[in-house]
Structure 1
Amino acid sequence: MTFAKLGLNQLLLTAIEKANYQSPYPIQIEAIPAFLEGKDLLGIAPTGSGKTASFILPILQILQGKKENKSRNVPVLVLVPTRELASQVAQVADNFSRFLSRRVKTVAVFGGVSINPQMRKMNGTDILIGTPGRLLDLLSKNALSLNQVEILVMDEMDKVLNMGFREEVNQILAEIPKKRQTILFSATMDETLEELISKLLKDPKRISVKPAEVEVDLIDQYAYRITPEKKGPLLRHIINSGDWTQILVFTSSIRTANNVTQKLVKNGIDAVAFHGDKSQGARTEALAKFKSGKTRVLVATDLAGRGIDIQFLPLVINFELPRSPKDYVHRIGRTGRAGATGEAISLITEEDLHHFKIIQKKMKKHVQLRSTDDLDL
């Protein structure tokens, strides 16, 4: 299957080719033609399945047949849970619209930065991508209108609801016409989401994509048994003992991420924290430096860490274990990608032992537990 067979125009096909997209993902094969036919869509798909292009490409094509927007009435709204995803979707839209004959204005809005520059950008916006809180802020200031929205995309809705944005979502939906095309994506399905779907979608085309299996056999996993007070010295010992160019360290809380980062920097290790309390600019800069190799160690929480996608990451360290075995696999799956080998190290206290056994059982893989008695910490 090729993109040319999905009903996309030649200008979009040129952009796809320039972006080095070889062939469409399964979700794109199903979603793009249905989207272009005007159908509502329900996609159960994980991050990394190609869903962003599956809605951005048809949106861009549909906008080519419409007059240029010169008002604050937004025709296309994309609702997302996080700042990183808003920026990422906007980047994809800008990338694919480079060769189009009709100019498409895409704007991403989110909290953590000044609202004034975002307000000034609203006029003439074709595609507005935003987080619930900031969208409501803009509406309250009459900076935009949603009463002429024709296409509504709700991306990663399970995360939106899990982050407690149900009331904000309902307020936004109250501003949007009932007659519209609605596309909803979620990685998981539960009763709350099913209830929302029944209210929002009309006879939707349902698409389901299974999460890609993490190749745990390509990841060299081991763990150290350690007391809580010696975790910091052990982490520094591990980092200094190898020549890894990039190391991703996971913690379970923002406070721990900050503390770990401060201790690493104090001991001469180039590190930066990456979490939800950081401003958008700080997070963008931190991730860019880490990806380019200018910063060696990135200390992240699980929620913020979902936006980290590095193809050949050599080492992941679990300073603290995540709550679920699924999250553990998701963490270590940042390494060992694209057929490359990687390492994953976990720091295990006495209290962690039972939970770590459950993780190994669910993962169906034994992880060697090493002693730290012979290490000079």
Structure 2
Amino acid sequence: MSFSSLGLSAPLLKAVAAQQYEAAYPIQREAIPAIIKGKDVFGIAQTGSGKTAGFVLPLLELFQGRKAAKNRYVKALVLVPTRELAMQVGDVFKLFGANLPQKIKTVAVFGGVSINPQMMALQGAEILVATPGRLLDLVDSKAVHLSEVEVLVLDEADKMLNLGFKEEMDKIFALLPEKRQNILFSATLGDAVDAIREKLLHDPIKIEIEAESKTPNLIKQLAYQVAAERKGPLLRYIIKQQNMQQVLIFVSSTRTADNLVEKLIKNGIEAAAMHSKKSQGARTEGLSKFKSGKLRVLVATDLASRGIDIQSLPYVINYDLPRSPKDYIHRIGRTGRAASEGEAISLICPEDSHHFKIIQKKMGKRVDIIETDTLDLKGY
């Protein structure tokens, strides 16, 4: 289905065409018309399903022709769990809204950086993308007011709840006007998400796109059985032998990320780490270089990876397995997006074998495992 049938005006359709979006994704086909009509929406959708454009486009459409907001009284609030996702969503608003007849200022705010520039940026803002903690700091400083919010979006609600933001979210809900449109997206269902849904949504349009246990067909999965002491050399062997030029590597800890990057660089592979202990400037620079293809390898922890959204990422490697099958699916779903094929590789030490069997069972898909005992890794 084309975007022209979803109720978007000509300037937005032109912005969509400029980004070479050809057909709307399923969640966009259902969410865009519903949001334009003012309906509450409850979407179950994975990262990479197109949900960001699914709410960005109709919000920009809604605010075309409406009276501008009073200074520091935002009209739309988008809550997200991490800094990277806040920046990503803010960039999508700016991308599609750049050439609209009525300019709509969007600001993204998040912790880990100085609050003063964000306070200044909020002058004249109509759409605010925020992490909960920093938003409350800005409210306390009178830098922004939520009493005239017309639309609330909760993006990745399950992650916000899992990261312990419920108390902050409840404080934010109490500051919002009772009459407003609500849009809630979550990758999973659960008691906490159900409670938020019942509290916020009124007769919502429910959209369910993809079950958590499914993986995209475009992802080729492969695993290598390896002794723990040979895991680093094997990783470098795979990257060099396959001439990988853009690969996202997942690890379990910040220490592992830093150590891995150090060894990759020593072996002539340009790499950077992305985790919660890195400064926001370093994270932003590393992600920007990786997305543009100027950085060959990005090593990330699960939390820091939120917001890494690259349309044609060819490789994902699980250097360490995640704790849950859901996180495994989330990780490998960073590749094989937007009709582009991708490869997901896992390095399996003997102590990981049982856990990897559980992941495959939950996923409903068997992954071929290659033995590497006889592989000569000298020099890697």
Matches within 5 A, 1:118-133: 118-133=118-133
CA–CA distance in 1 between the matches of 2:81 and 2:3? 29
Aligned to 1:375, what secondary structure does the other structure show? coil
Matches within 5 A, 1:249-328: 249-328=249-328
Report deviation, 1:66.
1.8
Report deviation, 1:346.
2.9
CA–CA distance in 2 between the matches of 1:220 and 1:180? 44
Instruction: Name 2:141's counterpart in structure 1.
Output: 141
Q: Answer yes or no: is the 8 Å Cα contact 1:246–1:315 preserved in 2.
A: yes
CA–CA distance in 1 between the matches of 2:25 and 2:345? 32
Calculate the aligned-residue CA RMSD, in Å: 2.4
Matches within 5 A, 1:178-197: 178-197=178-197
Instruction: Name 1:105's counterpart in structure 2.
Output: 105
CA–CA distance in 2 between the matches of 1:195 and 1:74? 26
Aligned to 1:305, what secondary structure does the other structure show? coil
- Give the partner amino acid of 1:365: R
Matches within 5 A, 1:58-73: 58-73=58-73
CA 1:69–1:350: 2 relative to 1, 3 Å: same
CA 1:307–1:122: 2 relative to 1, 3 Å: closer
**TM-score normalized with structure 1 length:** 0.91
Q: Answer yes or no: is the 8 Å Cα contact 1:219–1:335 preserved in 2.
A: no
Report deviation, 1:179.
1.3
Matches within 5 A, 1:1-377: 1-210=1-210, 213-215=214-216, 219=220, 221-227=222-228, 229-335=229-335, 342-362=342-362, 363-377=364-378
Report deviation, 1:83.
1.4
- % identity of equivalent residues: 57
CA–CA distance in 1 between the matches of 2:222 and 2:347? 11
Aligned to 1:221, what secondary structure does the other structure show? strand
CA–CA distance in 1 between the matches of 2:145 and 2:223? 54
Q: Answer yes or no: is the 8 Å Cα contact 1:360–1:367 preserved in 2.
A: no
CA 1:81–1:335: 2 relative to 1, 3 Å: closer
Q: Answer yes or no: is the 8 Å Cα contact 2:47–2:330 preserved in 1.
A: no
Report deviation, 1:333.
4.1
CA–CA distance in 1 between the matches of 2:105 and 2:263? 44
CA–CA distance in 2 between the matches of 1:72 and 1:333? 37
CA 1:53–1:220: 2 relative to 1, 3 Å: closer
CA–CA distance in 1 between the matches of 2:53 and 2:26? 12
- Give the partner amino acid of 2:190: D
CA–CA distance in 2 between the matches of 1:202 and 1:5? 26
**Offset from partner CA, 1:92-134 (integer Å, 9 cap, x none):** 2112223322221110101111111000011211101100011
In the alignment of these two chains, the number of paired residues is 376
CA 1:309–1:77: 2 relative to 1, 3 Å: closer
CA 1:346–1:18: 2 relative to 1, 3 Å: closer
Q: Answer yes or no: is the 8 Å Cα contact 2:84–2:306 preserved in 1.
A: no
Aligned to 2:244, what secondary structure does the other structure show? coil
Aligned to 1:54, what secondary structure does the other structure show? helix
**Offset from partner CA, 1:145-187 (integer Å, 9 cap, x none):** 1111111111111111111100010111111111111111111
CA–CA distance in 2 between the matches of 1:300 and 1:370? 26
Q: Answer yes or no: is the 8 Å Cα contact 2:332–2:344 preserved in 1.
A: yes
Aligned to 2:304, what secondary structure does the other structure show? helix
Report deviation, 1:8.
2.0
Q: Which moved more, 1:149-158 or 1:86-95?
A: 86-95
- Give the partner amino acid of 1:260: L
CA 1:366–1:9: 2 relative to 1, 3 Å: closer
CA 1:16–1:366: 2 relative to 1, 3 Å: closer
CA 1:43–1:252: 2 relative to 1, 3 Å: same
Q: Answer yes or no: is the 8 Å Cα contact 2:246–2:293 preserved in 1.
A: yes
Report deviation, 1:223.
0.7
- Give the partner amino acid of 1:139: V
CA 1:322–1:149: 2 relative to 1, 3 Å: same
Aligned to 2:224, what secondary structure does the other structure show? strand
**TM-score normalized with structure 2 length:** 0.90
Where in structure 1 are there 5+ consecutive unaligned residues?
none
CA–CA distance in 2 between the matches of 1:338 and 1:144? 36
Q: Answer yes or no: is the 8 Å Cα contact 1:14–1:99 preserved in 2.
A: no
Q: Answer yes or no: is the 8 Å Cα contact 2:271–2:297 preserved in 1.
A: yes
Q: Answer yes or no: is the 8 Å Cα contact 2:225–2:350 preserved in 1.
A: no
CA–CA distance in 2 between the matches of 1:80 and 1:335? 22
CA–CA distance in 2 between the matches of 1:147 and 1:340? 43
Show structure 1 runs of 4+ deviating over 6 A: none
CA 1:150–1:370: 2 relative to 1, 3 Å: same
Where in structure 2 are there 5+ consecutive unaligned residues?
none
Q: Answer yes or no: is the 8 Å Cα contact 2:219–2:344 preserved in 1.
A: no
Report deviation, 1:313.
3.7
Aligned to 1:273, what secondary structure does the other structure show? strand
CA 1:167–1:290: 2 relative to 1, 3 Å: same
Q: Which moved more, 1:99-108 or 1:49-58?
A: 49-58
CA–CA distance in 1 between the matches of 2:342 and 2:143? 48
